[in-house]
Structure formats: C-alpha cells, structure tokens
Amino acid sequence: MNWFRAAFSSLVLLGAVPFPADAAPILITSGGELIGANGVLVNGTLYDVEFVRHGGCPDNGCDEQSDFTFQTLAAASAASQALLDQVFLDGGTAATAYDSNPALTAFCANPDICYTYTYYQPAPALDPVVGPAYATARNTSETTDLLVDGITGMFGFPLGLPPDTPAFTVAAKWSTVPEPSTALLFGSAFALLQVVRLRRKSSK
C-alpha cells in the first residue's frame, strides 16, 4: 500500500498548491478584439470574465440577488478595479494596447473611453425602471482610468451611461474559476508517481 499512501500524499500536495497570486490573467481575443480574460484575481479568488454587449444585465436575468457573481457594491467595485489593474493594460504592441486604445475591447467602438459595467444587485421592486445596480471600470486612452462607484442615483444606485450608448459601454459577465475535480487531482498524483518510478528505474 506504499504506492497508495504516496499517491494520496501527492494528491494532498496538488490540492494545496494555490494559483500564484501574481500570475497574469490569460487574455481572450477574437478578430483582434479583447473579448474576455481567464484567471482574474478579485479579493483572493480567481474569476473568468467575458465582455458582452451592454443593453441589459448579463447575469441570468438579474431579477434575483443570487443571479449575480458579485453581490455587493464593494465586491463589484473590486472586480471593476481588477479589470483596470490586470486586464485593460497595454501589451507592448498597437494590436494589444488595451489601455491606450479602449476600442480594442469588444463592443467598445470609441478609441478614447469605454465603461465596463459589473452588475451586483437587482432593480428595486418599487421602481424597476431604474435597472440593476452596477460598478463601472472607466478605461480611457489617457491616464485617467478610474473606478466609478462613488456617485449614487435614485435609491442609491450608481449612475453611468445609459444602455443606448453602446460605443462607450460594455457589460462584464463574471464566473468563478472551477476547482480541479478529485479525479483530476488523483490522476495527476498517479502520473507524478509513475514519473518518479521511471526515474528510479533509469537510475539503477
């Protein structure tokens, strides 16, 4: 049973190794446009984000609090700040100048400015016309990128550009990065064991 104990130990080790906190997200592009990113770190947890056309809340209808990945203004603001700090950055070429040229982000046709909305709360029942609440990452071609979450409107909802200005706005659809399955971890541990055995045989 030594091999089982070794495999189990390897499994524990693999499960305990965290994703490096300083690892850069993997940017997803299509047709020269930035359409999302995988592995965005928000408050110590990794998320994937997809940029979708703004004009409505992208999170499962947005009529229940449970529909939202981030459920408070503070959390949505942290996610928006993560976009500015980790995703909307210049990559060293004109084709990857996602900070200097906001128009490289999907659905943001304006090269000077783009607002990315992260929704966190349904519209108030007393006035659904107000719409779901959101925090906003304002990405500009200059040095004035900022988080727009301090201004409040009716019923305390943050203000922003209306959905009839698609050239300036995009919605962020967030999802948590799934944890590795037990089977995957055990398979990785077993593969590691096999490598160790082969090395031992070759060294004899």
Residues 122-153 pLDDT 10s: 877 656 566 677 788 889 988 778 887 643 33
Could you tell me if residue 104 is left (phi over 0), alpha (psi between -120 and 50 degrees) or otherwise beta? alpha
Q: What is the pLDDT of residue 4?
A: 43
Q: Where are the domains of the chain?
A: 20-180
Say yes or no to pLDDT of 94 above 90. Answer: yes
pTM of the prediction? Answer: 0.72
Chain mean pLDDT for the chain: 75
* Sheet with 146-148, edge to edge strand ranges: 26-30, 33-42, 45-53, 169-176, 113-121, 133-140, 146-148
Higher pLDDT, 84 or 57: 84
Say yes or no to pLDDT of 47 above 90. Answer: yes
Q: What is the pLDDT of residue 35?
A: 97
Structure tokens at 101: 């040229």
Say yes or no to pLDDT of 160 above 60. Answer: no
Scored b (16 or more CB within 10 A) or e, 52-64 reads bebeebbbeebee
| Contact assessment for residue 64 and residue 132, using Cβ atoms and an 8 Å cutoff | no
| DSSP characters over 59-120 | STTS-SGGG-SS-SHHHHHHHHHHIIIIIS-B-SSGGGBTTT-GGGBTT---SSEEEEEEEE
Query: How far apart are alpha carbons 43 and 112 in whole angstroms?
Result: 29
Most confidently modeled of 42-56, 76-90, 112-126? 76-90
Q: What is the pLDDT of residue 180?
A: 60
| CB hemisphere CA count around 166 (13 angstroms) | 8
